[in-house]
Amino acid sequence: MSTLSGMLTRISDTLWRKPNLLILLLILPPALWLGIIYLGSLFALLAQSFFSIDEFSGVIKYELTLKTYGELFRPSNFDIIVRTVVMAIAVTIGAAIIGFPVAYFAARYARGKWKALFYLGVMMPLWSSYLVKVYSWKLILAKEGILNWMFETLRLGWLLDAYLSIPIIGGNSLSVSATGTFLVFLYVWLPFMILPIQASLERVPHTMLEASGDLGARPYQTFRHVLLPLALPGVIAGSIFTFSLTLGDYIIPQIVGSSRRFIGQAVYAYQGTAGNIPLAAAFAVVPIILMALYLWIAKRQGAFDAL
Amino acid sequence: MTSAIRLSGVSRHYGAVKAVDNIDLDIAEGEFFAMLGPSGSGKTTTLRLIAGFERPTVGEIQIYGEVAQGIPPYKRPVNTVFQDYALFPHLNVRDNVAYGLMVAGVAKYARHKSADDALEMVALGAYGNRSPSELSGGQRQRVALARALVNKPKALLLDEPLGALDLKLREQMQEELKALQRSLGITFVFVTHDQGEALSMADRVAVFNEGRIVQIGTPEDIYYRPESPFVADFVGSSNVLPPRFVAPLIGRQVYGSLRPEAVYLADQGHPAQVTSVSFLGTATRVSITVGDVAMTMLLPKGAAIPKAGDTVQVNWDDADLHLMAAP
């Protein structure tokens, strides 16, 4: 017993005298995990994208080439990229517009029980299975679904039909339209937008808003010149989630939406039955590059200055 | 004397808590007015009522003859210097100062020029491009001042503006604020819990306690002629003497107050027990008990200093014993 406690004391004494050793011990496991498992597979993926596939034999040629990246710019593939990026932008903007007031209310007005209720309301959708949520949305949006029924009951069926007849965003019913895909994306990723915005709004002192009003700013000017710039790091953090999650998802567009493919579905299809790992890898690199570009622009625009 | 800010029967209640309770106040144009009181006495809430951040539960507020009810803060001709300064961290010092002009639609060049002039006035002319986080507390305080004054308010509201500064800087800023107010000639309403600050700077002082104004007057009034034991104790750190102590001396059942510097050691007088002695530099503070009443006396430099436990004789001039009708 005494030798054990004596040993423990010696260890703590050593660690106290050599704080860098402690830091090294703490950081080693996650560093190994990130370095080997995560970054390793990422580089493996990156390397794959520089190989190509022999079109006749379907065998991967292990020679470095940019041919596969060139294929991304073929109209059919490029359409997939554009469609995915537009969807990701739309979902991000939609989530920011809906999420901001919710986050503002939670940060500024909700106290005690109401705050707990807010967290519960925002987080609860994250507890249930992702697939269950997506399928229930398919039911809501289907031709026989509750949304259609509501429009019919309110004698607004013609409005929904007119909307669905718009090309690109429309379709036979909401559940097989790009609008349906958008709504489900919006619902599923919304918590990831609300929580970072709320966290950033919590850090804006109330006197900041009072000072703005005191200096003559109308409420929308206070929002535009003080609240939004100070909450921008949170909005950016949230948009990183919504943007990248939408870019990478392949299940939602599969279940709800038109048959037009998204990047995630393309990756899934090419690495699966098609066996075209290089093209799948090249597709998978696209979101990474887009995110890097996005963060670089956000930083240059001073989005993180208030951090 | 034109009235700048007038409060009539103003109250602000939060549920059962009466933060401000039936206040009447008349602040004259060009006056340096201090609102003094312990924390939670309602002085800051009163300032926030004037600025428009809070709405009165009952009562009327007039700012330059205009009823302020229903007028939002951004339309009131007053500006505030906040206790935490509330400088915008995402704007540099110049843009902070120019903020009021920016939202009013003043062109960039003109507002930057006005901002630089205002910064010059508070001796920070060279700091326009700095970020607020690069400034010291005293400098931030000046930026907050410039940011409020650049809008040419009719009245400037200051919420404990010197509270976060160290003693030396605070004394320097007190003088600067006073000089600034004199040269600008606009009304200053100043909230503080520091009685020395209120007395040295203000033309008039309102003493707050528990949501009410217990006395309004010149610093001399407040200091020499407190109307209640609370004011005597809070403002002058005076010795408050209960009626049972005062009655045998003058034959009336009233409270009395006696400033510590008015009590002196004498050959003949009231026997007193010395309980403790503290050296303050310019004077020495001696705590004594006279009968069963605790008092403090301030002995000037050079006086003979008793030791704790000594029995001494103390006295005071009758003129210095101030009587208070209020309980």
Q: Kindly indicate the confidence band of residue A60, based on its pLDDT and cuts at 50, 70 and 90.
A: confident
Q: Point out the domain boundary residue: B196, B231, B266.
A: B231
Q: Is B74 on the interface with A (CB under 8 A)?
A: yes
Give pLDDT tens digits for A105-155.
Answer: 999 888 889 999 998 988 888 888 889 999 999 999 998 889 889 998 999
Cα B159 to Cα A204: distance, rounded to the nearest angstrom:
19
The reply to whether residue A215 touches residue B151, judged by beta carbons under 8 angstroms, is yes
Cα A75 to Cα B42: distance, rounded to the nearest angstrom:
70
Residue pair B101/B114 in contact (Cβ under 8 Å)? The answer is yes
The reply to whether residue A214 touches residue B74, judged by beta carbons under 8 angstroms, is yes
H or E stretch covering A117: helix A113-127
B183/B36 same-domain check? yes
Q: Is B80 on the interface with A (CB under 8 A)?
A: yes
Give every strand in the sheet of B3-14, ordered side by side: B17-28, B3-14, B58-63, B66-67
Average pLDDT of chain B is 90
A230 contacts in chain B (CB < 8 Å): 88-90
The reply to whether residue A218 touches residue B74, judged by beta carbons under 8 angstroms, is yes
Q: Kindly indicate the confidence band of residue B25, based on its pLDDT and cuts at 50, 70 and 90.
A: very high
Which residue from B minimizes the CA distance to A306? B90
Size of interface A-B (CB pairs under 8 A): 67
Q: Point out the domain boundary residue: B216, B231, B246.
A: B231
B252/B308 same-domain check? yes
Give pLDDT tens digits for A159-205.
Answer: 888 888 888 888 888 888 999 999 999 999 999 999 999 999 998 99
Cα A90 to Cα A242: distance, rounded to the nearest angstrom:
10
**What is the CATH number for B262?**
2.40.50.140
Give pLDDT tens digits for A240-264.
Answer: 899 999 998 999 999 998 888 899 8
B217/B248 same-domain check? no
Highest-confidence segment of A22-31, A59-68, A278-287, B99-108? B99-108
The CATH fold assigned to A61-300 is: MetI-like fold (1.10.3720)
Which residue from B minimizes the CA distance to A221? B103
Q: Kindly indicate the confidence band of residue B269, based on its pLDDT and cuts at 50, 70 and 90.
A: confident
B57/B195 same-domain check? yes
The reply to whether residue B99 touches residue A221, judged by beta carbons under 8 angstroms, is no
Q: Is A108 on the interface with B (CB under 8 A)?
A: no
Identify the residue among B90, B102, B108, B152 best suited for mutation to test binding to A, counting A beta carbons within 10 A and taking the highest: B90
How far does the CA of residue B218 sit from the closest CA of chain A (Å)?
A: 29
B221/B242 same-domain check? no
**Which residue range is the domain that position B27 belongs to?**
3-231
Residue pair B205/B199 in contact (Cβ under 8 Å)? The answer is yes
A294 pLDDT more than 70: yes
Structure tokens at B185: 């000639």
B270 pLDDT more than 80: yes
B103 pLDDT more than 70: yes
B126/B166 same-domain check? yes
Residue pair B25/B56 in contact (Cβ under 8 Å)? The answer is no
Cα B240 to Cα A200: distance, rounded to the nearest angstrom:
51
Q: Is A207 on the interface with B (CB under 8 A)?
A: yes
Give the count of domains, chain B. Answer: 2
- From A214, A221, A302, residue closest to B73, measured CB to CB: A214
Mean pLDDT value across residues B289-294: 88
Cα A221 to Cα B88: distance, rounded to the nearest angstrom:
14
Q: Is B79 on the interface with A (CB under 8 A)?
A: yes
Structure-derived torsion over alpha carbons of residues B30, B62, B10, B233, reported in degrees to the nearest 10: 0
B319/B219 same-domain check? no
The reply to whether residue A213 touches residue B79, judged by beta carbons under 8 angstroms, is no
B189/B246 same-domain check? no
pLDDT at A71: 87
Q: Is B99 on the interface with A (CB under 8 A)?
A: yes
Q: Is B100 on the interface with A (CB under 8 A)?
A: yes
B215 φ/ψ angles, rounded to the nearest 5 degrees: -165, 140
Structure tokens at B122: 């508070």
Identify the residue among A108, A203, A215, A218 best suited for mutation to test binding to B, counting B beta carbons within 10 A and taking the highest: A215
pLDDT at A143: 87
Q: Point out the domain boundary residue: B231, B251, B279.
A: B231
- From A216, A217, A306, residue closest to B89, measured CB to CB: A306
Q: Which residues contact A305 (CB under 8 A, 6 or more apart)?
A: B90
- From B53, B90, B147, residue closest to A215, measured CB to CB: B147
Indicate the domain borders of chain A: 1-49, 61-300
pLDDT at B213: 94
The reply to whether residue B103 touches residue A218, judged by beta carbons under 8 angstroms, is yes
B309 pLDDT more than 70: yes
The reply to whether residue A211 touches residue B82, judged by beta carbons under 8 angstroms, is yes
Which residue from A minimizes the CA distance to B74? A216
Which residue from B minimizes the CA distance to A305? B90
B162/B262 same-domain check? no
Amino acid at B270: H
Highest-confidence segment of A15-24, A158-167, A212-221? A212-221
Q: Kindly indicate the confidence band of residue A277, based on its pLDDT and cuts at 50, 70 and 90.
A: confident
Which residue from A minimizes the CA distance to B84? A207
| Pairing between β-strand B264-279 and β-strand B311-315 as defined by DSSP bridges | antiparallel
pLDDT at A195: 92
**Secondary structure (DSSP) of B111-177:** HHHHHHHHHHHTT-GGGTTS-GGGS-HHHHHHHHHHHHHTT--SEEEEESTTTTS-HHHHHHHHHHH
A302 pLDDT more than 80: no
- From B52, B72, B100, residue closest to A215, measured CB to CB: B100
B50/B106 same-domain check? yes
**What is the CATH number for B60?**
3.40.50.300
What percent of chain B has pLDDT above 90?
Answer: 53
Q: Where are the beta strands (DSSP E) in chain B?
A: 3-14, 17-28, 32-36, 58-63, 66-67, 78-81, 155-159, 187-192, 204-209, 212-217, 239-241, 255-258, 264-279, 283-290, 293-300, 311-315, 322-324
H or E stretch covering A60: strand A60-61
The reply to whether residue B90 touches residue A229, judged by beta carbons under 8 angstroms, is yes
Cα B324 to Cα B327: distance, rounded to the nearest angstrom:
7
Cα A112 to Cα A116: distance, rounded to the nearest angstrom:
6
B122/B170 same-domain check? yes
Q: Kindly indicate the confidence band of residue A62, based on its pLDDT and cuts at 50, 70 and 90.
A: confident
Give pLDDT tens digits for B194-251.
Answer: 888 899 899 999 999 999 999 999 999 898 888 888 998 888 778 888 888 888 888 7
Cα B19 to Cα B17: distance, rounded to the nearest angstrom:
6
B223/B241 same-domain check? no
A68 φ/ψ angles, rounded to the nearest 5 degrees: -65, -40
Cα B83 to Cα B62: distance, rounded to the nearest angstrom:
24
| Pairing between β-strand B187-192 and β-strand B155-159 as defined by DSSP bridges | parallel
Identify the residue among B63, B85, B88 best suited for mutation to test binding to A, counting A beta carbons within 10 A and taking the highest: B88
B99 contacts in chain A (CB < 8 Å): 212, 215, 217, 225
What percent of chain A has pLDDT above 70?
Answer: 97
A225 contacts in chain B (CB < 8 Å): 99, 102-103
